[in-house]
Amino acid sequence: MSGEKKRIIKLVLALVLLVAGALLQDVVIKPVSVAIFIAALAFAGLDIILRAVRNIANGQVFDENFLMSIATIGAFAIGEYPEGVAVMLFYQVGELFQNRAVNKSRKSIADLMDIRPDYANVYKDGVIEKADPYDVAVGDLIVVNPGEKVPLDAVVEEGVSTLDTSALTGESMPRNASPGDVILSGCININGRLVAKTLKEFGESTASKILDLVENASSKKSNSENFITKFARYYTPSVVIVAALLAVIPPLLGAGAFSVWIYRALTFLVISCPCALVISVPLSFFGGIGAASKRGILIKGSNYLEALAKTEVVAMDKTGTLTKGVFNVQKTNPQGISDEELLRLAAYAESASSHPISISLKKAYGKPIDPARVSNITETAGQGVIADVDGVEVAAGNAKLIKSLGIDLPSEEVTGTLVHVVSDKKYRGSVLISDEIKADAKKAVADLKAVGIKTVMLTGDAKSIGEKVAAQLGVDEALSELLPDGKVEKVEELLRNKSASGKLAFVGDGINDAPVLARADIGIAMGGLGSDAAIEAADIVVMTDEPSKLPEAIKISKKTLEIVKQNIVFALGVKLFVLVLGALGYAPMWAAVFADVGVSVLAILNAMRVLNYKSANA
């Protein structure tokens, strides 16, 4: 029999005995009716009283168990047996409903993040065996059948299929998988049988890291949660002192009998329980984190969720955030040499670099590159490369690099990135490379501005390029020609210029922008799917490459904070009102319990609303 069923049986027995005691107290001998009420109390609240005693022994005196125990024992001491039992009975019923609400909300969040695989089909020596994902080694072959979850990050060896990645990314659009493609743990295989070689142990896999991130989010408390914790620490002993004074001072001043004022003091204690606040506020933040996770937005703690709701400025890196980060050569402009020779010089000079622009140059050249022909490579971050190619010094980079060599450049108005090429101290021409703006980038900027957020774009590109892209997107301010340290300086400047209460969020790819992500109030990494560095570097990770997730995350955070404020105001308001009624004798003890339980349940149900967040327009 489950613990909940046992609890319900005890409460039913307590209710039966309470009714029997109330009906018989005037027609049987008093000790008999008192014994019935004591039996009812044993079923309804013995566990609460014992818990209070244990907590007191451990130095934790002022909690709800203590308050309820004092109220009940006090009611018995002044002969209010039915109400003493009713206090515990109502409290236990409230706890039952409260636990159900909390468990339901946690289950909802668990369902949202239901990406933990139960097993892996390991393929060894022609035999398939089920194994615990933790027991699968790197390099093992696994089989993923239709309808199964991918248990570990792996690369497809055989088979073609379609994967549902919605649990990781929030995207409903399936992704295709074929030999050579990387598949991530937590995705669901839809229609084809896949054989794949594992790339990581389960503890390092995408699903495991995401689950750890969400489960550990509660350890980083928001200011609201810290306030409630401190509030409860001082609030509870304060109301105990007030109740004690209420029980003693008025009778000493001749305002009534001790029994009357002790009863009022006990009622005062009952209603003072801070359960509604202590439970509903953390639950609201946990719900907000769960709702964001469902949409592929991973928030590492409720402190970041709260900060996100106060965002005033969003600074965004251009490449990889607002644009696709896929560079292609659009045009060549050779000076005294052929197009092929211009591309050869640029590709060889950039051969050792893994920068997207370097990759696009090598791709456009289209021929094998002999690394033995390149030496003395010097790469300057944000400017370009100087290297010896076949014994001749070649420079490939932006205008800053070329001008630093004392070479004049022709003026060109272009939309894209110009890579200038110099060999043997002579200008050889330029290569125009452009990046494509993401489909939803313009809408993302418009949605951010619609909620009153200033948008700033940071880029290392030339000023003319930055301004043109910013104009296309509708960004408020574009800061161009920035080296990595220049981005940090600009973010620090933006931090100084915002209001004291407002927050600045920086959005980057989580790898190259790590210093800026760390400096901002909130670091947001785009495209975290499969990127270990992104998940480690940022406070918030958007698992897809969609900028439109940014305003959605902010709206979820604002909704969460709104619910938290509602619960704080509602709970404190009702408690203050009923506390006054109890002190004046207008609220009986059972009504105080009912009010306290009612406030807790309503606050918890309100906290759960954020889980039902449907869209960015909700």
- Which pLDDT score, from 0 to 100, does residue 413 have? 67
| pLDDT one-digit tens code per residue, 250-299 | 888 888 888 888 888 888 877 777 767 777 787 788 888 878 887 888 88
Collapsing DSSP to helix, strand or coil, 177 comes out as strand
Contact residues for 301 (Cβ-Cβ < 8 A; gap 6+): 217, 218, 219, 220, 221, 222, 539
The segment with the largest mean pLDDT, out of 107-121, 350-364, 436-450, 472-486, is 436-450
| Distance from C-alpha of 282 to C-alpha of 272, rounded to nearest angstrom | 19
| Distance from C-alpha of 315 to C-alpha of 491, rounded to nearest angstrom | 8
From 119-123, 406-410, 415-419, 538-542, the region with the lowest mean pLDDT: 415-419
Tokens 């957020």, located at residue: 453
**Does residue 618 have a pLDDT over 60?**
no
- Which pLDDT score, from 0 to 100, does residue 357 have? 84
Nearest partner of 437 among 596, 360, 546, 594, judged by Cα = 546
Is 140 a known active-site residue? no
* C-beta of residue 48 within 8 angstroms of C-beta of residue 68: yes
* C-beta of residue 448 within 8 angstroms of C-beta of residue 314: yes
Domain 297-324+437-543: top CATH class: alpha beta
Q: Residue ranges per domain, the chain?
A: 3-110+219-283+560-612, 137-200, 297-324+437-543, 328-434
- End-to-end CA, the chain: 42
| pLDDT one-digit tens code per residue, 72-131 | 887 787 777 887 787 788 778 777 776 776 666 566 555 555 667 889 999 988 899 999
Give the mean pLDDT of the chain.
83
Paired tokens of 543: 């698992």
Strands 141-144 and 194-198: antiparallel
Nearest partner of 400 among 507, 512, 486, 510, judged by Cα = 486
* C-beta of residue 479 within 8 angstroms of C-beta of residue 459: yes
pLDDT top residue among 579 and 331: 331
DSSP type of residue 273 = -
From 189-193, 250-254, 525-529, 536-540, the region with the lowest mean pLDDT: 525-529
pLDDT top residue among 386 and 222: 386
- Which pLDDT score, from 0 to 100, does residue 583 have? 78
Positive or negative, the CA dihedral 590, 592, 597, 598 is positive
pLDDT top residue among 528 and 508: 508
- Which pLDDT score, from 0 to 100, does residue 104 have? 64
| pLDDT one-digit tens code per residue, 411-438 | 776 667 789 999 999 999 999 988 788 8
pLDDT top residue among 230 and 517: 517
* C-beta of residue 430 within 8 angstroms of C-beta of residue 420: yes
Nearest partner of 502 among 554, 444, 559, 445, judged by Cα = 554
Positive or negative, the CA dihedral 548, 551, 553, 555 is negative
- Which pLDDT score, from 0 to 100, does residue 108 have? 55
- Which pLDDT score, from 0 to 100, does residue 511 have? 58
Q: What is the mean pLDDT of residues 558-578?
A: 87
Of 3.40.50.720, 3.10.180.10, 3.40.1110.10, 3.90.700.10, the CATH number of 328-434 is: 3.40.1110.10
Query: In Å, how far from its chain's centre is CA 518?
Result: 17
- Which pLDDT score, from 0 to 100, does residue 364 have? 92
Q: What is the mean pLDDT of residues 591-602?
A: 76
| pLDDT one-digit tens code per residue, 332-355 | 999 999 999 999 999 999 998 877
Question: In terms of CATH architecture, what is 137-200?
Answer: Distorted Sandwich (2.70)
- Which pLDDT score, from 0 to 100, does residue 82 have? 83
**Does residue 531 have a pLDDT over 60?**
no
| Distance from C-alpha of 453 to C-alpha of 445, rounded to nearest angstrom | 9
- Which pLDDT score, from 0 to 100, does residue 616 have? 43
| pLDDT one-digit tens code per residue, 131-177 | 999 899 999 999 999 999 999 999 999 999 999 887 776 666 688 89
| Distance from C-alpha of 554 to C-alpha of 80, rounded to nearest angstrom | 53
Q: What is the mean pLDDT of residues 325-332?
A: 83
DSSP type of residue 149 = B
- Which pLDDT score, from 0 to 100, does residue 235 have? 74
Q: Which of 317, 461, 509, 521 is catalytic?
A: 317
